Amino acid sequence: MSEKTQTELGQFLSELNKESDRGSVLIAASIFDEWLCDIIQAHLMNDKVAKGLLNGATAPLSSFAARTGLAYALGLIMEHEYKELNTLRSIRNEFGHSWNGVSFETPKIQNKIDQLPWLGPDDAPNTPKTKFMFFVAILLADLMHRKQLVERDKVHPKVWGHTARNTVIGKTSNS
């Protein structure tokens, strides 16, 4: 992970720790959504069509759910990350659709957080908020680094043979 990315991660986590429970969850989901978009974009061809699928009001892959599914289907995230991101999305939805009385201590939220792995050190208190914050820090660091790894295998345009057009790899048989 580059020094710039490490600095960005540190700043984000510092700001995240200042937020309310609701703010922490909504902001964390938002940053994961952004990084999934960046990872997918790092994999796809660098053109207007690919960008149009991911960004904009009518982009079919503009939702957190769609990006999570696509990233998994393309092999850009692992199965456990896919499941964890879906759990995070579910937690985000609970906070986003409830206007009163929702916190990390709410039983429904605690049950969802229990589905996340404990990624903190053994001596840290294993409270729902602490578990959530360590989860965010570790998974986000992984995905920030993943973008660099994905860029190495970026999709490039290919020329395909056309049997029906009597061409192979862009050349006609008459050439």
User: For 134-145, how does the pLDDT look when each residue is reduced to its tens digit (9 = 90+)?
Assistant: 999 999 999 999
Q: DSSP states of 17-70 as a string?
A: TTS-HHHHHHHHHHHHHHHHHHHHHHHS-SSHHHHHHHSSTT-TT-SHHHHHHH
Dihedral, 86, 89, 90, 91 alpha carbons, nearest 10: 130
**Structure tokens that stand for 28 in this block:** 């964390």
- The structure's pTM equals 0.85
Q: What is the pLDDT of residues 3-29, one digit of tens each?
A: 888 888 888 988 999 999 999 999 999
